[in-house]
Amino acid sequence: MFHNLTKWLMALALIAPTMQVVYAATPSSAACSPLLSHTFPRLQDEAPQNLCQYQGKVILVVNTASFCGFTSQYEGLEKLYAKYKDRGLLVLGFPSNDFGQQEPGSNKEIADFCKNTYDVKFPMFAKSVVSGNNPNPLFKMLIAKTGTTPKWNFYKYLIDRNGNVVDSFGSMTKPSSSSISSEIEKLLGEKI
């Protein structure tokens, strides 16, 4: 067995430089926007997810909560995602207990609620802090770049295909709002 392992390692050493050249030439190795250069645990199983995988998409980032007057916006967010996902829109949900303690559950409880109540299919991440003195790194950058912090649950930030924040929308702005959809339409039509 040791002999086979040695032969395998020698063969790998011979092809490794070639593999590196091929990897460096692939489009997926393009530089990631600093805004997306963060890793967060996925809500359903807490598997780490690097946001760089979404580079080139138009992204609507939303802080969510299960027990809020705006919770029904999950339905609108899912409709928006379904309508535009094939053209390059991605909705990213970040549950947070920052406002009114309206997201007290565990990640599993939140995931079950999102699936069972609204059949959420867009990516959701583990519960985190999105405001105050220590927001998660993505929200810290979103706040710095826009000069606006989430005022409540279901605050929305819109990011273009190049990873730049282009707008933010308050909780009162529904996902079905023409102000959101017209901006998304415009961004989806732009080239990277």
Whether residues 165 and 100 share a domain: the answer is: yes
Whether residues 155 and 131 share a domain: the answer is: yes
Give yes or no: 68 in active site. yes
Whether residues 109 and 41 share a domain: the answer is: yes
**126-172, pLDDT tens digit by residue?**
999 999 999 999 999 999 999 999 999 999 999 999 999 999 999 99
**Average confidence (pLDDT) over 93-109:** 97
**51-92, pLDDT tens digit by residue?**
999 999 999 999 999 999 999 999 999 999 999 999 999 999
Whether residues 18 and 86 share a domain: the answer is: no
Q: Where are the alpha helices (DSSP H) in 87-157?
A: 107-118, 137-146
Whether residues 112 and 179 share a domain: the answer is: yes
Whether residues 20 and 55 share a domain: the answer is: no
| Edge-to-edge strands, sheet with 89-95 | 89-95, 58-64, 156-159, 165-169
Domain that holds residue 15: 1-29
Q: pLDDT category, 1, cuts 50, 70, 90?
A: very low
Whether residues 40 and 52 share a domain: the answer is: yes
As a whole number of angstroms, the longest Cα–Cα distance in the chain is 67
Tell me what the pLDDT averaged over the chain comes to. 87
Q: What is the reported pLDDT for 49?
A: 97
State the total domains in the chain: 2
Whether residues 56 and 75 share a domain: the answer is: yes
Which of the following is catalytic: 32, 52, 68, 114?
A: 68
* Distance spanning both ends of the chain, measured CA to CA: 50
